[in-house]
Homo-oligomer: A and B are copies of this chain.
Amino acid sequence: MRYGAEILVYLKEGVLDTQGKAVAASLTRLGYDDPSVRVGKYIRVEIEASDIDSAKETFDKMCKDLLVNAIVEDYTVKVEELR
């Protein structure tokens, strides 16, 4: 069975988001009124797995192994079965 995950990776509260600050400054220069911006990663992964629980386990392990820097980043994983 094929499963898909939508993984959102974002900096923890309190961690300086230089990319977010740069985007906010650009938006302000374009005339927007002082937006606050945080920029993270949206990762879509698809794998084959026997069932949804083992798929969830694999996606979570991928985050810990490679996709997320646990020192400064948090993440969420949304898993769905694919037709």
Contact = CB atoms under 8 A, between A and B. Distances in A.
Interface of A, secondary structure class, is strand
Interface string A14-48: 00000000010011001011111111111111111
Interface residues of A, number: 29
Given A23-B66, A67-B23, A10 B42 contact: yes
B35 A43 contact: no
A41 B43 CA distance: 8
A58 interface: yes
A44 B38 contact: yes
Interface of A: 8-10, 23, 26-27, 30, 32-48, 58, 62, 65-67
